[in-house]
Chain A
Amino acid sequence: MQTISKHYGAGENYIEALQNISFSLSEAEFLAVQGPSGSGKSSLLNICGLIDNPSDGHYFLNGKAVEKLNPRQRCDYRRHDIGFIFQRHQLIPAMTVFENIAYPLFLNGERPKQIKPRVKLMLEQIGLGHRCKHLPKQLSGGERQRVGIARALIKRPQLVIADEPSASLDHKHAHASLMLMHELNEQHGASFIIASHDAFVIEHCDRTVDLLDGRLESLS
């Protein structure tokens, strides 16, 4: 990312959410983003995850400039190259555990014959093989988050965006989730950008970006 800025509104309502943010992320790196509420974490995650475009600056994903894509192109990038882990897991309620994990592969046009063994393997890796036909409402919070992580990683994305992945979990489950992310990261080689307040999570990241009022305070 090079001198990324994001502003909203105009005149009296003008808000500068991000100002000249620059950093890079290596392959398979874990990067933590931290900062108080309103510091610009969500805006940065939206831009990194191609949910939103920056107002200024350059964003290169795997060497390609992606800062001026239209919504359809951003959607295509997200489908192929980016995985999301949400604070409240955001599993699709009408889909079973198997279907939730399989969904990104289905979107990418993979055939059921290819999808089934990959999802089964992933279910074994996250320890939920026996839950594959259950709906999200039948799972515990920790189980749901594991399904969310599996869904983000099943398509082997280049980048995973995780927004407060441990916020809705107790310490035991938060630790387990982070370990799972590391374990799967070792197997799949994705880079992670994790927004978190959790010191335990930040400790386990390779580097940390500190944001304050939309500015990059430090990069350690």
Chain B
Amino acid sequence: MNSLLIAIRNIRRDGTRLISTVLVIAVGLAALLIGSGFMLSTYDALQEIAMRAEGHVIVLDDDPAPTLGGAHQQLTLANWKIIQDDLWQDSRVLRVLPRARFEGLVSNSDNSAAFFGTGVDPKEEFRVHGPFLRTTDVLDPWLTDQDTPDLLLGSVLAQTLTAKTGDLLTLQTRRSDGQASEIVVRLAGSYHTGTPEIDNHTLMVSTDTVSTLLGSSQISQLSIYLEQPEDSMAIKQLLQSQYEGIIVQSWDQRAELYDKVKAQYDRIFGVMGGIILIVVFISISNTIALAIYQRREEIATLGALGTQPTRIYANFILEACLIGIIATSLGMLFAYTITNAINLAELMMPAPPGKTEGYAIYVYISWPHYLLTSLVLITIVVLASFVASYNNARVNIADSLY
């Protein structure tokens, strides 16, 4: 007695209902997989932006930065070179980049503007940002040994100042002792991030320039880039145990945008997923309930022959499982095909809030994710078929047979 074969014959008895149920589940699953594939790729992109901008692990001084005349000169990390040297011995570490934050006024002969500046290691800094920071019109090499240090401006700030590559600009700021300080720099090029707040108001110089300008060799933070982001926690714990007077953070503790977008997408796709699961539940319940209604005589016959109700429920659950497996297989095929079409078409999303540029839609195909989602859907199908058969398959044998 091949129960599987009998279940297959049973589900084929009403082809129209089978097709409609399979399509409802398949389309629902495809929508879930494509939506969640897009969500996962967005999470990964935001993670990548956050990691590339700040590093996988960030080291800060545990003293709050002093405020001087309204300007925040945040050079508080003193022993960073020791930490940097130690970290370079660790094979898990790819790069250790100093960042020195400062504020002030940038001007040329015609214009001036307030800025948020960062002192960086110019040789290494632009290797970590990838596509998320594009430099333009940069002198080659932009860091030279000449007397006048180089400067990179945010693209919009450069336009505001009507400054061109090679122009001389003056940076003015206050040192920690309150004294005014200034330095003449050469504009070596500009950079563009697509985030107006950054492109309008920021600039980059070397940490040596910051040191000269502010009279301090201290920096604001060390950004540590790792071979494997999964090692973040281990490196964080290592640094915390080895050094005193520092705060060590992992990238996710500083990824505010990532957290906000993730929370929002989780809500959107959570609601969408919930709706799809409800639709699948109702669809399969309806299919099984109709099948039971049409097969009442058959159920009564099975009962008269001595079949316990649990075995009858099991038959319907097996049929629902088969429908679920066919439907989820088809749904995965739909999702795979549509995802590849979307990725090939390079469709563009509009610019998100706080950005000036849209981005190409990319949808992930993850087979573990496909299988897990299908498994969830099949579980819903089994649950729905159990509820439907439990509520409807307890027929009165006498009424149904005679």
**Which residues of chain A have a CB within 8 Å of any CB of chain B?**
42, 45-46, 49, 51-52, 72, 75-80, 82, 84, 86, 90, 92-95, 99, 102-104, 106-107, 112, 115, 135, 151, 163
Q: Measured between C-beta atoms, what is the minimum distance from B193 to chain A in Å?
A: 64
What B residues does A75 contact at CB under 8 A? 303, 306-308
A99 touches B1 (CB 8 A): yes
Contact of B13 among A76, A93, A115 (CB under 8 A): A93
By a CB distance below 8 angstroms, the chain B residues around A80 are 306
Note all chain A residues with C-beta closer than 8 A to B305. 78-79, 84, 103-104, 107, 151
Taking CB atoms, residues of chain A closer than 8 Å to B9 are: 93-95, 135
Question: Interface range on chain B: under 10, 10 to 19, 20 to 34, or 35 or more?
Answer: 20 to 34
A-B contact count (CB 8 A): 68
Of the 9-residue stretches B155-163, B294-302, B346-354, which lies at the interface with chain A? B294-302
B4-45: which residues lie under 8 A (CB-CB) from chain A? 6-7, 9-10, 13
Measured between alpha carbons, how far is A163 from B402 in the docked complex, in Å? 9
Q: Are B401 and A93 in contact (CB under 8 A)?
A: no
B304 touching A95, Cβ below 8 Å: no
Q: Of B10, B13, B304, B401, which is within 8 A of A78 by CB?
A: B304
Give the shortest distance, in Å, between A111 (CB) and chain B (any CB): 11
Query: Do A92 and B302 touch (CB < 8 A)?
Result: yes
List residues of chain B with CB within 8 A of the CB of A86: 301, 401
Which residue from chain A places its CB closest to the CB of B305 in the assembled complex? Answer: A104
Note all chain A residues with C-beta closer than 8 A to B308. Answer: 72, 75
Contact A46 B306 (CB under 8 A): no
List 7 contacting pairs A-B, 8 Å CB cutoff, sorted by A. Answer: A45-B402, A76-B306, A79-B306, A90-B297, A93-B9, A104-B305, A115-B1
Contact flag A90-B401 (CB < 8 Å), given A78-B305, A84-B305: yes
- B315 CB to nearest chain A CB (Å): 9
Q: Which residue of B lies closest to A157 (CB)?
A: B306
CA distance in complex: A57, B13 (Å): 44
Closest 9 A/B residue pairs (Cβ): A79-B306, A94-B9, A106-B1, A78-B306, A90-B301, A94-B10, A42-B402, A46-B398, A51-B397
Q: List chain A residues, Cβ under 8 A from B401.
A: 51, 86, 90
Contact A84 to B302, CB < 8 A, known contacts A42-B402, A163-B402:
no
Bound together, the chains give a CA A64 to CA B88 distance in angstroms of 89
Nearest CB in chain B: distance from A207 CB, A:
23
Q: How far is the CA of A151 from the CA of B1 in the complex (A)?
A: 14
B14 vs chain A, min Cβ distance (A): 12
**Which B residues lie within 8 Å of A104 (CB)?**
305-306
A135 CA to B8 CA, complexed, in Å: 14
Write the nearest CB–CB distance from A155 to chain B, whole angstroms. Answer: 9
> Which of A77, A82, A103 has the most B CB atoms < 10 Å from its CB?
A103
Q: Which of A52, A93, A95, A102 contacts B398 (CB 8 A)?
A: A52
Q: A75-B308, A78-B306, A94-B9 are contacts. A103–B1 as well, Cβ < 8 Å?
A: yes
A164: nearest residue on chain B (CB-CB)?
Answer: B402
* Chain B residues with CB under 8 A of A99: 1-2, 6
Give A122 Cβ to nearest chain B Cβ, in Å.
15
Give the complex CA separation of A131 and B65 in angstroms.
Answer: 92
User: What residue of chain A has the Cβ atom nearest to residue B397's Cβ?
Assistant: A51
Instruction: List B residues 338-390 near A (Cβ within 8 Å).
Output: none
Complex-state Cα separation, A90 to B401, whole angstroms = 9
Write out the residue numbers on chain A whose beta carbons fall within 8 Å of the beta carbon of B398.
42, 46, 51-52
Interface centre among B13, B306, B401, B402, by most chain A C-beta atoms within 10 angstroms, is B306
Kindly name the residue among A46, A94, A103 whose own CB sees the greatest number of chain B CB atoms within 10 A.
Answer: A94
Q: Which residues of B contact A90 (CB under 8 A)?
A: 297-298, 301, 401
CA distance A106 to B9 in the complex (A): 19
Alpha-carbon distance A198/B268, docked complex (angstroms): 70
CA distance A131 to B259 in the complex (A): 68
Which chain B residues border A82 with CB–CB below 8 Å?
306
Residue in contact with B304 in the complex, picked from A51, A93, A94, CB distance below 8 Å: A51
Do A94 and B6 touch (CB < 8 A)?
A: yes
Closest CB in chain B relative to A115 CB, distance in Å = 8
Minimal Cβ-Cβ distance residue in B for A72: B308
Q: How far is the CA of A77 from the CA of B304 in the complex (A)?
A: 10
Task: Tell me, rounded to whole Å, the shortest Cβ–Cβ distance linking B354 to chain A.
Answer: 60
Residues in B whose Cβ lies below 8 Å from that of A52:
398
CB-based contact A102/B1 at 8 Å: yes
Chain A nearest Cβ from B118, distance in angstroms: 73
Contact (Cβ within 8 A) A107 B13: no
Give the CA-CA distance A92 to B308 in the complex, in Å. 16
Contact with A along B232-274 (1 / 0, CB 8 A): 0000000000000000000000000000000000000000000
Residue among B2, B302, B304, B307 making CB contact with A49, cutoff 8 Å: B304
A181 to B298, CA, bound (A): 23
Q: Are B298 and A92 in contact (CB under 8 A)?
A: yes
Complex: how many Å from CA A142 to CA B195?
83
Chain B residues closer than 8 Å to A94, beta-carbon distance: 6-7, 9-10, 13
- Judge whether A107 and B307 touch: CB under 8 Å: yes
Q: How far is the CB of A152 from chain B (nearest CB, A)?
A: 9
Give complex CA distance A76, B137 in Å: 88
